[in-house]
Structure 1
């Protein structure tokens, strides 16, 4: 029951800017969520907080504590990155073009339309108004596209669509002064950066870049005078103008003094600090350089002050690395043919991060060694199917982009991609030995993939071309079955020979559900012809049983022990059958539970609409006590099988960029021509912000599929629960969502009594009564105490203590072992515990195998992972180990 959102796979990057913190953490937007990738540990997580629409701008503080994420509706989240919680929220009054934290972390510069707003950065303390607006600069004449702070946080460089770059001074002056202008560009400003002199550690240069591929270098030769907070700043203009102005002001000194005294009350005191005024000094254009990539446009850029390097990305997929100020090209390479939407340095400047929204791809490249640190690309079409490996370590996904990806669940990384299919992948299945992955596709083939050599070693075909939509294999993995969409038949092949063994006919509709019984060789198939058929594949008797329904059957699934069968029908009901006696056990009415929001094209309200109110995917839990159900809705339902009650509803997302989220549509958005959301009257510019064409390549604008202006409809296509029962995955429109069990803050005692306390456990341990201490900790069900008692047992007493543990505590004890195998350094000690427990309680484990199966799977997963890690370590040190074993120790 205690499942929480853990990770989002399948689409690492979809657009927006990318930032790096702590030199190794890569932060990128994923829809309305934020993904954090640890480049050193090779792990990725998705923050549990989510915005109301897709995130387009991200900024991180220099200390890596805070992240500000802004979505398409200008709503922002101020997030504590370490604790992964939202501290504050604020909505800006306009489209945000750029955002950046100051180097000292005190301020945040936000480009809201034509305005530059300087906000004081909130901290950990709780405040009623956490965001304080400090300054507002309104000198730009068009939308702002780039921001950059000076190292001392006193100046802000701003580039906009009016082809000008302005430098604003943060501290208030006693007389208003216009910002310093850097002019000369002939296209929209893409990037602006302060350059620092390495000897004096002061700002000496400014680099400005425009979309036409031009980079201007500006040099600073010092101010005409030094200015402190108690004197008036020099007036801009030529020396002749300043002289004339001083002569005229000499006649009106009295009025000037009066005006100064009035302004002094509203100005910030600079405390007599002497500063070098960059905006009143002499700036000159040193040189103009061009990247010479026409007709491609400059779409992304970044500058590293320490190394004086510039990285640029273009709309044709080319990126370049240049040494400044001499403009020496170090690298000029092509990633792809698509537009680069993000290019950034890490803190040390040795890694470059590139993002391509159209391909959903993130690359981290080390430019010195010319090697990839990270190369991840998600599915840019909808994911259709999922499959967990038998040890729950891997998750395979198949999508409409004809690709199969295999992910490591613990790290969230894809380690292999298979792209031999020529049409959408519709079904996946792991064999029981975990070494082979089967896939079915609409291209008319079923393929077998070797997960050791990463190759397609077997291809199953039919005499005539078919479209396969379902797939299953028996427990031995020797017989492969696939159901078709067009001929309504089930094809049976041999894994060893690849030959077609049999064709099962009888269905009168597409066979969308197919599954072998876990306990015997009976195959269950569901079809749109309103029937579920059981087939004896090995005996060749054809359909041995037929379960008739009143509506089309959408899917079928066996309980893990094979003694129950669940089917979903078009009328929103879940039927539970006894496959042995062939009788209907009970039915769950789920129309009200699965009912989602209203689509923009719906003419009826969500309550009166009948579309989408059915389950298209089902899956039993590892112990068979509950079942997960999903469909064309924003909800995933969890039902208790024995009591037929709804336990919990998971809402996939709150992202309003999807259709079908809102239950009620706003009548103000209705016009004479229809809903305003469906009227495309925008003058879109494909070179700014997120490329809208990227969404069509993400599967959002498929021809004939989405009439609602490219807004994807939220839905769940496939659900799978890991054999360990610790997590489950859902293939949704937003991506592959992973939910895992969180028991960190749950107190759930098994057999609580007044004498069962942590003090009693510690007392028993101190007195040497380890057996009694272990039983008390199991009754208290406190994880830390259980592990403490296990480790306190002497190796010679393991058999005695294991024999004293009652059978009802075996599940909790096995779960503790599974956790200890992964985290404890006493591997041999824990394995001896497991061996003695299986030897002594073997019969109890066999009799209660259904309830203990998830815990045993978790233990198997942990032991397998430890074995793999040790095998890799030993193989890499094989000769050293041989030498140590053959060397005699001489006294």
Structure 2
């Protein structure tokens, strides 16, 4: 039950602006969350902080400590990046299109509607009123689109949709900030996308201003007839005081106009690097350009996408360029000097339909409506291969037991086998006439492949070795949406919309062995890991548990009340009274079979105890109000005669921004009679999978693939404690040279640091004696501690000796209780496999050096 959100896969970028912190950390918004990618360590972490809706703008402080996020509801979070904690919250009155920290980190400029607000930046100390509004600039006639501070934080450039750029002199006084009337830079014929200060490298003073508009024109501005020094007398509207000599007035003048020559495309993103004096520009046709200023020399002009580039930014050193495409979920980091990719990630264009864990829990495969199969490394959050051979939606995935090949089924009528060593499609299974496959299974040996169809209601059986069609199983009268082999024998279970679950003996070819009737359509079916129980969900919201050996119904869980929650915009009834969508479309047993996870067209994932048939916990997968079905009650103030106000597109914002909203995918047939939502995407869970180690589970949702992991916080068994079991007693036993007693006490406390300390206190000679004295009840805790140490500890031989002695002395006990110990044993296997792979790679790359060292040692 102790699961918490860990990461978000499948969608590295969904819109807004990306920023680079400390030169190597890429921060990008993903829906209503923020992902931080370490470009050196190649690892992505999604912050657990959620906004109320999709994040549209982010800004990071100059020292990389604080992060500002603003969502579509104008709610702002001030986040400590190192601790992943929200420090302060504030809400703006108007939509925010630009936000930026000053270079000295003291102030925050916010373009909210037509206003520019200057706030004092909060710090670590607790404050009653953290966000202090110092100044509001109300000089713009349309919404603010761009902001830029001068290097000394004394000047602020403001670009807006009214075709003008305004230069403000921002002077800090004792009581706040003082601003004079702005200087106007006019001449653009379209809204301003970017405005930047250029600095003279010799004097470190501002000498130019660059402004870029949507119509692919860039203006360069400079001083007319002076030394380029900016001071308070720059504003030509300020008259001299009476009785004083008239001061010399400094003005900005237009030096040159440059055309990017990309019409009819528009400029959608741009950035400027002061140190290199270079400009990068992204266009709506997917092309980007890199230009050397002030002579406007084009260095690169390349196409990286067919859709518009929504963010383009330099890193601190200027050697990397970051590009993002919101429509394709694409995020690139490009080294422009060597013309090579540092990072190339792309999410699924449509919703993820299916998931599959590799047997060692290190890889995760995803299939979606965009016809692609992606394989991710769970620990790093990176996608390392994408298969694009399918021509229609991918509906089912299955990892083979050898961990090196993957199966995928699709609506295009093919089942394909993928080689994860050579990254190729090495076998394709087809049928005499085209069929649409929606379910997939393979037996334990990997010799037989089965796929269920949507249109012909049949199950096709192939040979994995030859690719030949062996058999066609007929008998169902509806789409076969569930297909799974028993973990212990060759029995195949299938579920269909014809209200039955059927068992088949595939190898004997006798057809259906047994049929379990239901009163409603059966949506999915799963086997318990020990093969002694079968669970299936029906359209009336119930989960039925069957004994497959005796053919008896064991018990039923009523889940309609548990999964209900969240009202759609198009619903005429409240969520409590609505009858649609209250059923589970995906089920998954835990690794030990003690509980089951269930999800469907709801914002909840339910966890049930199988033995007691009780709800243990409900996970709310998102609080994002940009999705439909998240809120339980609709506000009557937002209802009009034409329908909900949120679904009325009163301006052409989608066309202008180049973002098309996905209303439904190709698999919106899962719930018969469900009305399609013509407005916003609807929150739902399409697939659930628990890792074989039992320490993670993933959910394919509208937000992406959510990864939940077991919280490693301190949890002990209170029934196993008495007054003498304390950390002090553990230390005392170690000081008295009683490592065996200390280890037992630490296992009873179940405190991770104490257990590992006691393991290291035991000498290698005493390992067999101590291992044989460990009671079985503490075996799982000890195995979990060893698997954690194998991931990070350098004493490899010491850890492997522990594993070897445990298997020797407790082999029979482990075999008899394999079901309970299976998750921890899988974790241990995962750690050993990972170390073996790392060592194999290291040894193969240093083969000749090792041979030399061995030969030198032999001679000595």
TM-score by length of 1: 0.92
Q: Which residue of 1 aligns with 2:204?
A: 201
Q: Secondary structure of 2:660's match?
A: helix
SS in 2 for 1:738: strand
Q: Is the 8 A contact 1:677 1:709 kept in 2?
A: no
Determine if the alignment matches structure 1 residue 357 to structure 2 residue 326: yes
Q: 2:487 aligns with which of 515, 518, 536?
A: 518
Q: Any idea what SS the aligned residue of 1:799 has?
A: helix
Q: Which residue of 2 is the match for residue 348 of structure 1?
A: 317
Instruction: Kindly indicate whether the alpha-carbon contact (under 8 Å) linking 1:358 and 1:698 is maintained by their aligned counterparts in 2.
Output: no
Q: Within 1, Cα distance between the matches of 2:144 and 2:357?
A: 47
Mapped partners of 1:613, 1:444: distance in 2: 30
Q: Which moved more, 1:658-667 or 1:632-641?
A: 658-667
State the SS of the aligned residue for 2:720: coil
Supply the distance in 2 between the matched residues of 1:86 and 1:705 (Cα, whole angstroms).
Answer: 39
CA contact (8 A) 1:700 1:711 kept: no
Superimposed CA distance per residue, residues 202-230 of structure 1 (whole angstroms, 9 cap, x where no aligned partner):
222211111122222222479799999xx
Counterparts of 1:798 and 1:701, CA distance in 2: 57
Q: Is the 8 A contact 2:17 2:311 kept in 1?
A: yes
The yes-or-no answer on 1:218 pairing with 2:221 is yes
Query: Residue deviations 1:240-295, cap 9 Å, x none?
Result: x96xx66xx349x9xxxxxxxxxxxxxxxxxxxxxxx9x96342322222211111
Structure 1 residue 673 displacement after superposition: 2.6
Provide the C-alpha distance between the structure 1 equivalents of 2:59 and 2:717, rounded to a whole number of angstroms: 40
Asked whether the equivalents of residues 224 and 280 of structure 1 are also in contact (C-alpha less than 8 Å), the reply is no
Is the partner of 1:596 in helix, strand or coil?
coil
CA pair 706-250 structure 1, distance change in 2 beyond 3 A: farther
Q: Does 1:391 align with 2:360?
A: yes
Q: What are the residue-to-residue correspondences of 1:129-208 with 2, within 5 Å?
A: 129-171=129-171, 177-208=180-211
The answer (yes or no) to whether the contact 1:224–1:282 under 8 Å persists in 2 is no
Deviations 1:167-217 (A, max 9, x none): 112226999732111122222111111111212222222111111222222
- Once residues 180 and 780 of structure 2 are traced to their aligned partners in structure 1, the CA distance between those partners, rounded to angstroms, is 74
- 2: CA distance, partners of 1:102 / 1:599: 42
| SS of 1:661 mapped into structure 2 | coil
Do the aligned residues in 1 keep the contact of 2:290 with 2:301 (CA within 8 Å)? yes
Alpha-carbon distance in 1 for matches of 2:178, 2:854:
82
Please say if residues 569 and 644 of structure 2, whose CA atoms lie closer than 8 Å, have aligned partners that are also in contact.
yes
Mapped contact 2:564–2:575 kept (Cα < 8 A): yes
**1:708 CA displacement:** 4.6
The match for 1:52 is 52
Q: Distance in 2 between matches of 1:774 and 1:656?
A: 50
Moved more, 584-593 or 197-206: 197-206
Local SS of the residue matching 2:830: helix
Distance 1:890 1:340, change over 3 A: same
Alignment of structure 1 residues 25-174 onto 2, 5 Å: 25-171=25-171
Cα drift, residue 558 of structure 1: 0.5
Instruction: State whether residues 155 and 169 of structure 2, in contact with CA within 8 Å, keep that contact through their aligned partners in structure 1.
Output: yes
* Matched residue, 2:473: 504
Are the structure 2 counterparts of residues 756 and 222 from structure 1 closer, same or farther at C-alpha, using a change threshold of 3 Å? farther
2:668 and 2:203 mapped to 1: Cα distance?
Answer: 54
Q: 2-side partners of 1:387 and 1:606: how far apart?
A: 32
Asked if the contact 1:722–1:728 (Cα under 8 Å) also holds between the matched residues in 2, the reply is yes
2:783 corresponds to = 814
Residue 767 of structure 1: how far off its partner (Å):
2.2
Give the C-alpha shift of residue 751 in structure 1.
Answer: 2.1
SS at match of 1:493: strand
**Is this contact kept in 1: 2:647–2:680, CA < 8 A?**
no
1:672 maps to 641
Counterpart Cα distance in 2 of 1:508 and 1:824: 56
User: Does residue 692 in structure 1 map to residue 668 in structure 2?
Assistant: no
Q: Is the 8 A contact 1:102 1:149 kept in 2?
A: yes
> Are the structure 2 counterparts of residues 370 and 43 from structure 1 closer, same or farther at C-alpha, using a change threshold of 3 Å?
same
Q: Secondary structure at the match of 2:275?
A: coil
Q: Distance in 2 between matches of 1:655 and 1:224?
A: 53
- Deviation per residue, 1:636-691 (Å, 9 max, x gap): 00000011100000011111111111111111122223322333332436334xx3
Question: How does 1:638-657 map onto structure 2 within 5 Å?
Answer: 638-657=607-626
Whether the 8 Å contact between 1:750 and 1:778 is mirrored in structure 2 is no
- Checking the alignment, whether the CA contact within 8 Å between 2:399 and 2:406 is kept in structure 1 is yes
Q: Distance in 2 between matches of 1:280 and 1:65?
A: 41
Give the match for residue 304 of structure 1: 273
Query: Is 2:831 the counterpart of 1:865?
Result: no
2:380 to 411, 431, 446: 411
Whether the 8 Å CA contact 1:623–1:854 is kept in 2: the answer is yes
CA contact under 8 A between 1:24 and 1:346: conserved in structure 2?
A: yes
Q: Which residue of 2 aligns with 1:335?
A: 304
Structure with greater Cα Rg? 1
More deviation in 173-182 or 860-869?
A: 173-182
Q: 1:588, CA displacement in angstroms?
A: 0.6
Q: How many residues align?
A: 853
Question: What's the CA shift string for 1:281-338, capped at 9, x where partnerless?
Answer: 3423222222111111111110111111111111111111111112222111111221
Contact 1:659–1:713 (CA<8 Å) still a contact in 2?
Answer: yes
Pick the aligned partner of 1:729 from 698, 703, 708. Answer: 698
Query: 1:625 corresponds to which residue?
Result: 594
Question: What is the Cα deviation at residue 707 of structure 1?
Answer: 5.7
1:435 to 373, 391, 404: 404
> What value does the CA root-mean-square deviation take over the aligned residues?
2.4
Q: Distance in 2 between matches of 1:452 and 1:564?
A: 35
User: 2:733 maps to which residue?
Assistant: 764
SS of equivalent to 2:823: helix
Q: Pick closer, same or farther for the CA change 1:696–1:219 going to 2, 3 Å.
A: farther
TM-score (norm. length: structure 2):
0.96
- Report the CA distance between 1:870 and its aligned residue: 1.2
- Report SS of the residue matched to 1:525: strand
Pick the aligned partner of 2:742 from 773, 780, 784: 773
Query: What secondary structure, in the 3-state scheme, does the structure 2 residue paired with 1:348 have?
Result: coil
Query: Is the Cα contact below 8 Å between 1:596 and 1:612 reproduced in 2?
Result: no
Which of residues 303, 321, 343 in structure 2 aligns to 1:374?
343
Q: Are residue 590 (structure 1) and residue 559 (structure 2) matched?
A: yes
Partner of 1:887: helix, strand, or coil?
A: helix
Which consecutive unaligned segments of at least 5 residues does structure 1 have? 254-276
Give secondary structure in 2 for the equivalent of 1:687.
helix
Aligned 8 A contact 2:369 2:665 in 1: no
SS at match of 2:653: coil
How far apart, in 2, do the equivalents of 1:52 and 1:90 lie? 12
Work out whether residues 700 and 710 of structure 1, in 8 Å CA contact, stay in contact via their aligned partners in 2: no
Aligned to 1:274: none
The answer as to whether partners of 1:750 and 1:780 remain within 8 angstroms in 2 is no
